[in-house]
């Protein structure tokens, strides 16, 4: 590339901005982690030796990660050492060990090859999962497998250290590799693959390292030392930036850094608008290791615990009652005397039967999922209800029903809950005497019967992630229609207003637990249409609080009143940008997810 006339042309690559912020610097390359294990057919007497090698490798991998964890914990700053827990757990997992041992015995192969075989079968199972988050957990499995293969084959290479600040380019970076690296000199990360929900992205966000993933073929076009810019807020990487591009980005970088500092400081202040209207901010949690983050980001309570994530890493076995009780108690403890809302398993048939379905559904998004599937499998539902009611003996643990479409589903769930309560009473087991039952509004039919649903339930929670996809017929995981996923579409705003009005008429509390409020333009519209309670990924809360504390409800209402009469999402977005002002939005991340075509 250096000899071509294009060598110094400014090049732009777009991907997903997974960790906001701007970095300006020079490139460093991290080579791919792929390690090819050797295939060796072993004689029967070597089988126990291979099994011993495997156990030694598991021990060594665990020991290594434990020591990295201690190092991270001791380092200054709040490095997310707990992100290593899932890997350590996986290395302790009896099923994983058993699967690899079985492969050694059945195929009479060396431990390295048996790890590779086990990895392939687990990745195939992950690929069949419909849920993006769970699918992206396959990166964690790959990470653990590569680590084992490296140890077994003695390939363990030293991690690169960067003596001077650099922007890291790679095809992919494994989460544990990132957690292990000394990140002091890593200004930003840019990779060809990956997305928002990968653990690498989560770690980058927690470390505050700007990152853009999914750049497709960027890494191969970068040379070490090349000047570059990573714009994690807008999902853009610029190679060989021109002088004026650099100057513009220096200004943006300064504004973003100021805003980030203010955001974390604001996290501990009340969520009050300029005209003193209080809002409530809660946290959405998927895995228990996220629980320690909650106080740092200023969440008042836990507004959504996606319990189906208890299935991850368990080979899709449903956790038994005791395992669930422990998990729900942990969630309740993390809520520190406030409330925690457990959403019952929001699963689909793939998860239920490990992908070996006889009659696959042509359209799973419109098939058996959410509350309808949960109610169909009464034994699973009863076990979960027993665990929630028992854990709820010690605090305000609430239940939330996903993907509700009609009132009869809520009535059936309530009847089941009361029958489980009667059962626990008869058994003399301590349990919650009353439990609030909430309904997620995330399917268009639920919007239209929202008032009936609100009367049947104790609270409602708007799942904007799904509501937008179902209203606009835009698959939220399909990159080809991503530009049509528009939260400010008038149909979305009209539906949300309808829900809020229904809640007001019934006097039932309403919160939004979808990610829409993470975008400042959307949050302004949501305040204007009457929402005051939000539950979001913890890291997104400071920015929402910053917006809340910078606007008046009066201004938000005036904006919404005019916005709702505009014909397109693009027009509403443009109006919101003008109303809030460019200076105000500068330094706020999340603007990227609105780049629309109507």
Query: Where along the sequence are the contacts to ligand PEP (CB under 6 A)?
Result: 306, 346, 442, 463-466, 513-514
Nearer to ligand PEP, 210 or 438 (CB): 438
Nearer to ligand PEP, 50 or 130 (CB): 130
Q: Which does 464 bind (CB under 5 to 8 A by kind): Mg ion, ligand PEP, none?
A: ligand PEP
Strand order in the sheet with 211-213: 11-14, 236-239, 227-231, 22-29, 166-170, 186-191, 211-213, 16-19
Q: Smallest distance, Å, CB 461 to ligand PEP? A: 8
**DSSP letter, residue 134:** H
Sequence-separated (6 or more) residues with CB below 8 Å from residue 243: none
Helix axes 47-74, 111-127, angle to 10 degrees: 70
Q: Smallest distance, Å, CB 466 to ligand PEP? A: 3
Q: Smallest distance, Å, CB 431 to Mg ion? A: 28
Q: Is 431 a catalytic residue?
A: no
Q: Which does 143 bind (CB under 5 to 8 A by kind): Mg ion, ligand PEP, none?
A: none
User: How does 35-47 read in b/e, with b if 16+ C-beta sit within 10 Å?
Assistant: bebeeeebeeeeb
Three-state DSSP class for residue 166: strand
Nearer to ligand PEP, 222 or 529 (CB): 529
Three-state DSSP class for residue 376: helix
Q: Which does 306 bind (CB under 5 to 8 A by kind): ligand PEP, Mg ion, none?
A: ligand PEP
Length of the chain: 598
Chain residue whose CB lies nearest Mg ion: 466
Q: Which does 246 bind (CB under 5 to 8 A by kind): Mg ion, ligand PEP, none?
A: none
User: And the tokens for 377?
Assistant: 């499998």
Nearer to Mg ion, 19 or 284 (CB): 284
Rg (CA), the chain: 25
- Residue 348 exposed, middle or buried by CB count within 10 Å (0-12, 13-18, 19+): buried
Q: Smallest distance, Å, CB 313 to Mg ion? A: 21
Nearer to ligand PEP, 442 or 456 (CB): 442
Structural contact between residues 22 and 231, judged by C-beta atoms closer than 8 angstroms:
yes
Structural contact between residues 592 and 234, judged by C-beta atoms closer than 8 angstroms:
yes
Nearer to ligand PEP, 13 or 534 (CB): 534
Q: Dihedral, CA atoms, 519, 522, 523, 529, nearest 10 degrees?
A: -170
Q: Smallest distance, Å, CB 370 to Mg ion? A: 8
Which residues of the shown chain bind Mg ion in the complex (CB under 5 A)?
A: 442, 463, 466
**DSSP letter, residue 233:** T
Nearer to Mg ion, 318 or 347 (CB): 347
CA–CA–CA angle 523, 130, 417 (5° rounding): 75
Q: Which does 514 bind (CB under 5 to 8 A by kind): ligand PEP, Mg ion, none?
A: ligand PEP
* H-helix or E-strand spanning residue 573: helix 569-580
Between the alpha carbon of residue 462 and those of residues 326, 401, 436, 444, 502, the distances in Å are 27, 11, 16, 11, 12
Distance in angstroms (rounded) separating the CA atoms of residues 5 and 11: 13
Q: Around Cβ 353, how many Cβ atoms within 10 Å?
A: 10
Catalytic residue among 126, 199, 431, 450: 199
User: And the tokens for 366?
Assistant: 């419109």
Q: Smallest distance, Å, CB 446 to ligand PEP? A: 12
Catalytic residue among 218, 228, 279, 513: 513
Counting Cα atoms < 13 Å in the Cβ hemisphere of 287 gives 19
Q: Smallest distance, Å, CB 84 to ligand PEP? A: 25
- Residue 475 exposed, middle or buried by CB count within 10 Å (0-12, 13-18, 19+): middle
Nearer to Mg ion, 210 or 463 (CB): 463
Nearer to ligand PEP, 91 or 594 (CB): 594
Q: Smallest distance, Å, CB 309 to ligand PEP? A: 9
State how beta strands 211-213 and 16-19 pair.
Answer: antiparallel
Nearer to Mg ion, 176 or 533 (CB): 533
User: How does 506-521 read in b/e, with b if 16+ C-beta sit within 10 Å?
Assistant: bebbbbbbbbbbbbbb
Q: Smallest distance, Å, CB 465 to Mg ion? A: 5
State how beta strands 186-191 and 211-213 pair.
Answer: parallel
Q: Which does 298 bind (CB under 5 to 8 A by kind): Mg ion, ligand PEP, none?
A: none
Q: Is 199 a catalytic residue?
A: yes
**DSSP letter, residue 540:** G
> To which residue do tokens 């999902």 refer?
235
Q: Smallest distance, Å, CB 523 to Mg ion? A: 19
Residues annotated as catalytic (active site), given as ranges: 199, 513
């Amino acid at each position: 590339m250096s000899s071509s006339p294009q060598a110094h042309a400014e090049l732009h690559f777009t991907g997903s901005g997974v960790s906001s912020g701007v970095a300006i610097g020079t490139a460093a390359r991290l080579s791919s982690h792929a390690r090819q294990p050797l295939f060796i057919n072993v004689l029967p007497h070597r089988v126990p030796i291979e099994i011993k090698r495997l156990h030694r490798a598991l021990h060594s991998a665990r020991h290594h990660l434990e020591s990295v964890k201690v190092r991270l914990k001791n380092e200054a700053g709040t490095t997310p050492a707990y992100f290593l827990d899932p890997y350590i757990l996986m290395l302790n997992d009896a099923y994983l060990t058993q699967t690899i041992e079985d492969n050694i015995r059945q195929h009479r192969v060396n431990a390295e090859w048996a790890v590779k075989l086990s990895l392939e079968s687990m990745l195939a199972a992950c690929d069949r999962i419909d849920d993006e988050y769970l699918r992206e957990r396959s990166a964690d499995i790959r990470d653990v497998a590569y680590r084992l293969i490296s140890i077994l084959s003695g390939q363990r290479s030293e991690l690169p250290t960067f003596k001077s600040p650099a922007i890291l380019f790679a095809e992919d970076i494994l989460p544990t590799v990132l957690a292990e690296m000394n990140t002091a000199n890593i200004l930003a990360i840019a990779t060809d693959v990956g997305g928002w929900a990968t653990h690498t992205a989560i770690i980058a966000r927690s470390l505050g390292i700007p990152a853009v993933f999914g750049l497709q073929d960027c890494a191969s076009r970068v040379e070490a030392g090349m000047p570059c810019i990573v714009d994690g807020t807008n999902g853009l990487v610029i190679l060989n930036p021109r002088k004026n591009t650099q100057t513009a980005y220096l200004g943006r970088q300064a504004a973003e850094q100021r805003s980030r500092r203010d955001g974390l400081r604001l996290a501990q202040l009340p969520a009050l608008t300029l005209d003193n209207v209080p809002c409530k901010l809660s946290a959405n949690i998927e895995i228990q290791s996220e629980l320690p983050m909650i106080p740092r980001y200023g969440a008042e309570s836990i507004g959504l615990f996606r319990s189906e994530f208890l299935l991850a890493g368990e080979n899709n076995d449903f956790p038994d009652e005791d395992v669930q009780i422990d998990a729900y108690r942990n969630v309740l403890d993390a809520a520190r005397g406030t409330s925690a809302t457990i959403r019952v398993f929001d699963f689909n048939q793939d998860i239920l039967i490990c992908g070996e379905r006889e009659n696959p559904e042509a359209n799973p998004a419109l098939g058996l999922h959410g509350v309808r599937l949960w109610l169909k499998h009464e034994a699973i539902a009863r076990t979960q209800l027993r665990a929630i009611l028992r854990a709820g003996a010690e605090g305000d643990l609430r239940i939330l029903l996903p993907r509700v479409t009609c009132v009869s589903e809520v009535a059936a769930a309530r009847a089941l809950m009361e029958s489980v309560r009667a059962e626990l009473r008869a058994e003399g087991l301590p349990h919650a005497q009353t439990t609030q039952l909430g309904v997620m509004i995330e399917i268009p039919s639920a919007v239209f019967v929202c008032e009936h649903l609100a009367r049947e339930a104790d609270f409602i929670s708007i799942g904007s992630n799904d509501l937008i996809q179902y209203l606009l017929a835009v698959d939220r995981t399909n990159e080809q229609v991503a530009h049509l996923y528009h939260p400010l579409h008038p149909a979305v705003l009209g539906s949300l207003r309808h829900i809020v009005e229904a809640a007001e008429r019934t006097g039932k509390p309403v919160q939004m637990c979808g990610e829409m409020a993470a975008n400042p333009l959307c949050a302004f519209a949501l305040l204007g249409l009457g929402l005051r309670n939000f539950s979001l990924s913890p890291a997104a809360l400071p920015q929402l609080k910053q917006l809340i504390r910078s606007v008046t409800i009066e201004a938000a209402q005036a904006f919404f009143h005019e916005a709702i009469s505009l014909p397109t999402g693009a027009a509403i977005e443009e109006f919101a940008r003008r109303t809030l002002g460019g200076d105000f939005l500068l330094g706020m991340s999340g603007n990227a997810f609105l780049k629309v075509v109507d």
